[in-house]
Each structure stands twice: as C-alpha cells, then as structure tokens.
Amino acid sequence: MKRDIIIVGGGVIGLMCAYSLVKEGKKVTIIDEGKIENSASFGNAGLLSAFDKSPLSYPGVVLDTLKLMLKGESPLTFHPTLDLKIYQWLWKFVQSANEKRMKRSMELFEIYGQIAVDLYTQMEEIDGMDLDLQKKGLLMVYTQEETFKQKIKKCQNPERFEILNVKETKTYLPCANDNIQGSVLLKKNAHLDAKRVMLEMKKYLLSQGVEFILEEKIEELIFNQHDVTAVQSQHNTYTANTIVLSTGYQTFLAKKAHNDLMLIPAKGYSLTFEMPQELKPKTSLLFADMFIAMTPRRHDVRITSKLEIGSTSKEVVQKQIESIKNNFKRYTLPFEMNNTIEWCGFRPLTPNDMPLLGRDKQYSNLIYANGLGWLGMTFAPAIGKIISELICKEQSNEENENIMAFN
C-alpha cells in the first residue's frame, strides 16, 4: 500500500506538520520509534519566547559563559569528544554570534513567533484542545547588576517591556530572595504545558484520521535516482509519495541521503514538582544570567536548565540535577519541592539558531523539518504550516519564501 505522506518522528515538529497537512485534507502517517511519550517535546519548559529575546548565539556569549563558569553557575558542560562535527559546530556557533545575525534572527523570531502563537490560540479556540496556553509574558530575572543594567537600556518601550525592581519582581515571583537584582517582563511572550500539547495533539490527529505507527524505528531510506521510494524498519517497508524527516536530534537518516545536517544534541534537564501555592510564580520566567527557566503549570511547576554538549547518554545525571537545584536555591527562599520528576532530553541545536527546513537537493520528495534547538515549542506550529505549504503547493525550496527566509 502506497501512503500519501509519511512523517518520520512524532515530536512536536512532526505532529504540527501533520496538523497543518490534515487541515489541507491530506492523508498522513506518523512513524515513531517510541510511543510518543518522552521526547524532547515532552519535558521542556513550554516557553513561547520568540519576542525580544536574543538568540543563543548572541555577541558576547563566549565571554559571558566563561564568567559564569568562574562563578560555578554556567549551564554549559562540554564533554571532550572525537566527533569532529562538534568542533565544526562550535566554530560556526562562535562565527554566528555577531550583531548582524542577531538582528536578522530576532526579526524572523518575531514573524514566526506571532504565526505560532496565533495557531496555538486557534488550536484552543477552534479545535478545542486544552494546551494551558498563558499569554502573560516572560519575566527575565537578573542576578547580576551589570547584565540587568544593560538589559534595562534596551527595554525602554513600555508597550513591550515592564522593568521591575526587586520588590516588584517578587509580586510575580514570590519565592525570589533578595539576591536578585530585578527583572524585565517581556510582555509579548507566552507559555504552555508541553506534555499537554503533545497529548492533545495526538488525540486530535487520531480523531482526524492520522495513522500512527509506533515503536517502529526507521533505519533505512530506499532511493531511486530522484526520489525516496520507501522507508524501512527492521521488519517493514513503507512506501509514500512524500517523506518528511522530523527526527529531532537524530540525524542518521538524513545522512543516508548524503546530507550531514549541521545540528548537534544539546542535553538539557527538567525538574517538575509541586510547591506551596503562595510561592508559585505568576508567569513563566528565566533566570537570564544562569539559563534556568521556571514555568508555572496548572498543578505543578517546572524548572529546566543545562546545555550539555558531547553527550548522547539518556541517563539523568544526578550531579547536573544537584547543580540546577543549587543555582536555583541561591536566588529563592527555602521551600519543599514535592513529588519531583527528574527528566532529560536533547535539543536539536544548530549553530545559528536557524532551523533546517525544506526539500533535499537530490531527492525532491524528501523534506527536512529539523534543527529547532531551544525553540521547538515556540515555532512548531509555524514550521508545520511552512512544511504543509511546501508539500500542498508542490513548491521547490526557492518558491517558498519562508524556507528561503530561514536559509
């Protein structure tokens, strides 16, 4: 049986591609090596932080990281490795950290962030999904005087920013202690519950007739001269007119098409716990100097942090969990974290914060939807829309202005 569209990878990107495709009346099959219950798309902070937030590769990132390392608060861990790609990636990352690129990235973040927020809103209001979408802004909490002062200078537009001193910050973040310097509310940002998004999306897609083939790892792509004719697992072969790869940090299938995607796995951690209601934050926030996010959810709170490069171990390393807790506790009042769930996952990180989207150069029915890095939840609906448009309008990459914008 020849299928119409197969999406390999049922993380948030794969599901959002399916969402936009079924809206266009397409028949879609999603194949995933797991049960769609624990990818990066489940344990993340759920921040929709497209607005007024610099990319990861901003000018000064190297110096800032070194300073944090000296203070013992750096989120970055680098495991020396023989994998040359990691060093190429690091070199490109450093090259990307310049003003011109940052400006361009932030312009794109603004456009696609708005498309994404609008689509999440539509999913709740029209499709009836419960995503716990909260449009209350993102509070950037500063722990260093110097960085806070620098941020204030850039945040003088009251329509987009609210600058808060320590006392005012505590109205948003009652568990903060006096070691913080203050905060800036980035008003346009939002957050949602990542796991809820995934479960609601899956339920919705099933109701729309999307086929899910789970616990099936695709190991091979079968090619003719210009197309991929099938994907293959250990026991089965699936044929389709179009194949979308949304495999997160895993790049070995793209390599089969001689495309070595410039992305690396960047391991991160989350702790999800219950805390006293009166200390719960009123909106999502980021301890900007330490890269620790905190997201209030309906019944609990989640903190996420760390950027571990050179490791693909799926083990939750206790040293990292302790380090997150210690850094967090320096700036918060003492309180009990109850029923804590510890988690780790991998961001599919490109060196310049730009996703890798579009048709393969040689095999035109093979489409990539990869490399969303630390912004997969933020942009997933927009990415799904772009990929759907590329397929439904039978466009080349050059004919799709969104794909060209990211290039």
Ligand X SMILES: Cc1cc2nc3c(=O)[nH]c(=O)nc-3n(C[C@H](O)[C@H](O)[C@H](O)COP(=O)(O)OP(=O)(O)OC[C@H]3O[C@@H](n4cnc5c(N)ncnc54)[C@H](O)[C@@H]3O)c2cc1C
10 lines the binding site for ligand X (CB under 6 A): yes
The SS3 call for residue 64 is: helix
Q: How far is the CB of 43 from ligand X (least distance, A)?
A: 6
Tokens at 89, concatenated: 């990636």
357 lines the binding site for ligand X (CB under 6 A): no
- Closest C-alpha to 370, from 381, 358, 386, 388: 358
Q: How far is the CB of 310 from ligand X (least distance, A)?
A: 15
Find the radius of gyration of the CA atoms of the chain: 21
Binder among 5, 6, 7, 8 for ligand X (CB under 6 A): 8
The SS3 call for residue 76 is: strand
Among 17-25, 69-77, 264-272, 384-392, which window interacts with ligand X (CB under 6 A)?
Answer: 264-272
13 lines the binding site for ligand X (CB under 6 A): yes
CA–CA dist 224, 365 (Å, integer): 11
205 lines the binding site for ligand X (CB under 6 A): no
301 lines the binding site for ligand X (CB under 6 A): no
The CA-atom distances, in angstroms, between 270 and each of 91, 106, 273, 334 are: 28, 26, 10, 19
Cβ-based nearer residue to ligand X, 39 or 332:
39
CA angle 288, 136, 304 (to 5 degrees): 40
Site string for ligand X, 214-253 (x = CB under 6 A): ---xx---------------------------xxx-x--x
189 lines the binding site for ligand X (CB under 6 A): no
- Closest C-alpha to 307, from 81, 79, 52, 148: 79
55 lines the binding site for ligand X (CB under 6 A): no
Tokens at 193, concatenated: 């519950």
33 lines the binding site for ligand X (CB under 6 A): yes
The CA-atom distances, in angstroms, between 368 and each of 258, 349, 399 are: 13, 14, 16
Cβ-based nearer residue to ligand X, 152 or 262:
262
Binder among 27, 34, 170, 213 for ligand X (CB under 6 A): 34
40 lines the binding site for ligand X (CB under 6 A): yes
Binder among 3, 9, 58, 151 for ligand X (CB under 6 A): 9
- Which helix (DSSP H) or strand (DSSP E) does residue 107 occupy? helix 99-125
Q: Which residues contact 14 (CB under 8 A, 6 or more apart)?
A: 7, 8, 30, 32, 244, 246, 369
The SS3 call for residue 127 is: coil
Q: How far is the CB of 367 from ligand X (least distance, A)?
A: 14
Q: How far is the CB of 39 from ligand X (least distance, A)?
A: 3
Cβ-based nearer residue to ligand X, 178 or 215:
215
Q: How far is the CB of 382 from ligand X (least distance, A)?
A: 11
How many residues are listed for the chain in this entry?
A: 407
Binding site for ligand X (CB under 6 A): 8-14, 31-34, 39-41, 44-47, 217-218, 246-248, 250, 253, 268-270, 293, 304, 345, 347-348, 372-378
